[in-house]
Amino acid sequence: MKVADFPQIMALSTSEKLLLVEELWNEIGQKSESLEMPEWHKRELDQSVADHARDPMEGSPWPEVKNRILARK
């Protein structure tokens, strides 16, 4: 499925397309219990938990990370 297959979507403004994406995302979220997490996601999450358990002081708090990202702009 491609956006180009839906001319009515192609005709929308950028802001209208963003609203449509938000609406679609909300609709998917309401049915999230039917979505199964891929095995590789589970492995990544397990690895993150193990990394944190090994060294809880490693990494940066979210506010610091966010500030670094915003400073790049």
- pLDDT tens across 24-63, in order? 999 988 886 777 889 999 999 999 999 999 998 888 999 9
CA–CA gap between residue 64 and residue 70 (Å, rounded): 10
Query: How confident is the model at residue 29, as a pLDDT?
Result: 83
Using the structure block, give the residue that is written with the tokens 């403004």.
Answer: 13
The predicted structure's pLDDT at residue 24: 93
Q: Give the whole-angstrom CA distance, residue 13 versus residue 18.
A: 9
Q: How confident is the model at residue 67 (pLDDT cuts 50, 70, 90)?
A: very high
Q: What pTM was estimated for this model as a whole?
A: 0.47
